[in-house]
Structure 1
């Protein structure tokens, strides 16, 4: 059974394949100060406990992705990234809704994530999708200038 979810602007969401690792690493690097190596993405995609989802067009041109980890009845959003030219177009929201739909078929009943407290657009998206802040971690994210940002730890029930 092929998993497929609709996304805005003629895109759809499907599970990532190991051949997508390089593109995911590039998207991650565009969105975060410290990107992750291609080898990490290859390993994550190959592991059934870390499903990855991509937003792409019919030719599999990837515009964004979400990567989660499953542990018992919990899940964690490890990272999510959207190509800069596709941001603020509902791609991140569509990715997360696909993740939520897929998780309904798993034992996971709660999702956690960490987000830079200053990334207000991401915080607002998570809040609109039912996440609530449960704690914070000062000095968690390194910044290019050598300072460190606070991470908000958020959670959401999955149903």
Structure 2
């Protein structure tokens, strides 16, 4: 597996993964995804094998009163490539980008029922700090996880 930063030519393949991994209303729109990726305050990592995209992940950061905070917007891996360590490596790459921007912490929302994603974050040192009811849809909560980077 090769890991690299997003290039403009990657967008169609990246969005095809978004369409496989998420269904409305959880799916990002093409317009929002393009804006997120194009932001100077974000990094998008690609995982690919044999020139085919297997997954991607996006982190963004912002200056807060307490310092720079990073937010993991998404980590997505195609079903046939899951349980191979790709999500964990993408997570490490996101954290590296956040560290390069001198972020104090990184946080995220995860579907409260997505046990495999929650295991990934907990193994990587993230701690649950809260819950957002109806975050993804009506009666679909998100758990909030945070990891200190300093």
TM-score by length of 2: 0.89
- 1:71 and 2:62 equivalent? yes
User: Displacement, 1:15?
Assistant: 0.8
Q: 1:141·1:149 contact (CA, 8 Å) conserved in 2? A: yes
Q: 2:98·2:106 contact (CA, 8 Å) conserved in 1? A: no
Structure 2 partner of 1:118: 113
Matches within 5 A, 1:24-103: 24-34=14-24, 35-57=27-49, 59=51, 61-72=52-63, 73-103=68-98
Q: 1:24·1:41 contact (CA, 8 Å) conserved in 2? A: no
Report the Cα distance in structure 2 between the residues aligned to 1:22 and 1:80, rounded to whole angstroms: 17
Runs in 1 of length 4+ with deviation above 4 angstroms?
Answer: none
Structure 1, unaligned stretches of length 5 or more? 1-10
- 1:109 and 2:101 equivalent? no
Aligned residues: 144
TM-score by length of 1: 0.84
More strand by share: 2
Alignment equivalent of 1:13, drawn from 3, 9, 14? 3
Q: CA offsets, 1:2-22, max 9 Å, x none?
A: xxxxxxxxx121111222122
> How much is the aligned-residue C-alpha RMSD, in angstroms?
1.4
Q: 1:140·1:150 contact (CA, 8 Å) conserved in 2? A: yes
Structure 2, unaligned stretches of length 5 or more? none
